[in-house]
Each structure stands twice: as structure tokens, then as C-alpha cells.
Structure 1
């Protein structure tokens, strides 16, 4: 494992550190990551881990993580509008009472 890859795995890595690296320890090209993700999704469907209708994109994980997070600012968006764009949490309301 290259030094960059080792550095990326340290517990005290700064925010913004590279999460995924290739064999040379550098970030993979987006097209390589997209291809690997598509292969993973196809394998999960074939193994019946997920259903075809539940296919999701790598970018969809960003939406999911923000929706599920209690800290909506955790993704680092600078504006509330961008946080809201990725947050799909439904507002819980009380049911109507009979008249």
C-alpha cells in the first residue's frame, strides 16, 4: 500500500481526506468509480441482496446520508437551500381530529 493510501486510513485524517484510493494511492477517476458502483449494484441484484427497483446511485448515498442525519449540515453545504435539496426527510404531522 502506498504512503498516500496509508495516510488516508489514519484515524486522525482531516475532513476532506480521500476516502477511496486506487492501487497507486490516488483517488480513482469518476468513470472508474461509477463503473465499479454499477458492477456492485448488478451483483447485489443478482445475489438478491436488493431488488432491481431499489437500484441507487453512488450520488444517491449523499441524499440518503443527509436525509438520515440528525446534523443536516454534516455534508458541508454552505447554504440551507443546498441542505434542503439533499434532505428528503418527511415532516411528521399530527393526524387531523374529527370535527
Structure 2
């Protein structure tokens, strides 16, 4: 697979969940019909972009430390601000 240009340099396809600051974390709802929630990843705790993440949630504006579960995915954004891809765990 070829890499794409990301917000902070090249984005190389990788296995597993990973993110960069500025990407969006989407977490599925707890029950059927619950849309879940999303937020901007504003902090990383590992240089390789693996969890946990500091996330500013779009519904509350609060920042929390998140250890994403199997229902989470990351939307990576290219440098021009449009969506590049969605990554499922």
C-alpha cells in the first residue's frame, strides 16, 4: 500500500490502531441505536501513535485520557483538512 500525505507529514499504512494529533477518534455507542461519540486527538502518550490518547470530545468539550476499545476507529486527515481514511481496529 502507498502512503498518503498527512497533517504532520507522510502517513504510512500500519496495522492496528494508531493516530496523530489532529485526527478524530470515533467510538461506537453502548447500545443499538446509540450513535456514540467523537473527539479530536489532542495528545499522544507514545511516539508511534498507539493508544492511549488525550481526546477533546465534541459533545462536551472536555479532555479525557482514552484507552480505545474494539468499537473505536480513527479518521486520519490529510494536510488540506479533508478526510483521508477511516481505520477500524
Higher strand share: 2
Q: Same fold (TM over 0.5)?
A: no
Q: TM-score, normalised by structure 2?
A: 0.21
Q: Which has the larger radius of gyration?
A: 1
Higher RCO (CA-CA < 8 Å; seq separation 6+):
2
Q: TM-score, normalised by structure 1?
A: 0.20
